[in-house]
Amino acid sequence: MKALTLAIALGASALGGTAMAQTAQGEIGYARGSLGYDALRDNDLRTAEVQIESAQGIAADDPARLINLGYIHMRTGRIQSAQRLFETVRDHRRDMMLELANGEVANSRDVARRALSRMMPALAAR
């Protein structure tokens, strides 16, 4: 497992009610804005998505990138797309340790599993 610390801006709905902490660190180990951290923290989902989609130097299958995109898709009603993104992270050959916006450190696969479990009511309704 690759150990990398970074801040991911996941909100309460993705992590089971965990409040998002305010932090000045933003993305740790990534170029500022490349994971849309500040925009997600400010609930500016459109800007966050543009930042993540246009970020240079981040692999398309980077777990941190996919988790933040999944969160954006979930919050904007693209439930099936969010599900696929979280499943990709959950099943990915590569995992990493992530520092979440609330200060928690968690494995990327575990973060994806939690996000998927929080989505179950929305998925069942479809």
DSSP string across 18-62:
PPPPP-S--SSSS-TTTT-HHHHHTT-HHHHHHHHHH-SS--TT-
- Cβ atoms of residues 71 and 82 within 8 Å: yes
Predicted pLDDT at 29: 87
For residue 35, the tally of other CB atoms under 10 A from its CB is 29
Q: Rounded CA gap, 92 and 102, in Å?
A: 24
Q: Could you report the per-residue pLDDT of 46-103, keeping only the tens digit for each?
A: 999 999 999 999 999 999 999 999 999 999 999 999 999 999 999 999 899 999 988 8
Predicted pLDDT at 123: 64
